[in-house]
Amino acid sequence: MKITKMILAAMLAIGSYAASAQNTDDDDLLEFEKEAANNDNGFHFSTEFATRDVWRGGFVSSAAFEPELSYSIGGLSIGTWAACPLNSSNDHYNELDFYIEYAFDFGMSLMLTDYCWNNANDKFEYFGKYKDNHLLEATLGYDLGAVCDNVPLSFNANTIVAGANRKENDDQAFSTYMELVYAPSLKNIDLSLTFGVAAEPEDAAMYSMKGGFNIVNIDLGLSHDFKIKNVATLTVKTDLICNPSGLNDDRGDAYAIGGIVISF
């Protein structure tokens, strides 16, 4: 609890600085700060503190640090994402993912993601057997906003093509998750509305305790960015999430989550 309070205090202090830095004139910026503000190529990293880790409508872990590191050049991005619970004495969950993505100018994107989290024995064994400890996912996405500035709508379809997503007979389950995201920017906040569905065999139980086609993720998100001299961004966000089908309870799941992200 003390660690969590210290983290929140530090984040609030950074937020106060970020709010004052928003009014900084571009003429006051150093040369490298101006370059960072106008160039998406290169390395990017961020760290998020989240009150809960909920993924695609399913509870994953309690409060956690979630760092991400990526490198981008043109439309190509390569990166890694991880999750580490703050209360490690009670929550032994760990996750380490790697991804590669290519985004085309006309809005379409292709991505491969390698996920690794606790296996069926609740152990994190990154170098264990791939079929027992990893998931390989293929993603096809399309961002309509890339070609229509006034239509902040995107869609993605994700299928697990290899790894631990298996049916009871040990065949690959090919669980698929699809979502539609509407993300307009309002006057002072960014809004996101996500509607996600899953299709999978009943004995896969990756997104829902039910088989077939189910609504698994309805997410209302609100966020606000504070710029820190055009070098870093502090984001404060909250999400209200509902999984009507239920992954942890067949009557459905609901979560309220807060988060603070600092990105460079």
Mean pLDDT over all residues of the chain? 86
125-163 pLDDT tens trace = 999 999 999 999 999 999 999 898 889 999 999 999 999
215-227 pLDDT tens trace = 999 999 999 999 9
75-130 pLDDT tens trace = 999 999 999 988 765 567 899 999 999 999 999 999 999 999 998 888 899 999 99
DSSP string over 115-132:
EEB--TTS---TTS-HHH
Predicted local distance difference test score (pLDDT) of residue 89: 59
198 pLDDT above the threshold of 90: yes
Residue spans of the domains in the chain: they are 2-263
Give yes or no for a contact between 137 and 113, defined as CB atoms under 8 angstroms apart.
yes
Predicted local distance difference test score (pLDDT) of residue 17: 45
244 pLDDT above the threshold of 50: yes
38 pLDDT above the threshold of 80: no
For residue 239, count other CB atoms closer than 10 A to its CB: 20
| Vertex 159 angle, CA 171 and 52, to 5° | 105
Give yes or no for a contact between 95 and 126, defined as CB atoms under 8 angstroms apart.
no
State the fold for domain 2-263. Porin (2.40.160)
Which whole-number Å values give the CA distances from 228 to 18, 19, 70, 111, 249, in the listed order? Answer: 5, 8, 20, 30, 42
Residue 222's contacts (CB-CB under 8 Å, 6 or more residues apart) are: 189, 190, 191, 192, 237, 238, 239
Give 28's DSSP letter. G
Residues pairing with 142 in the sheet: 108, 155
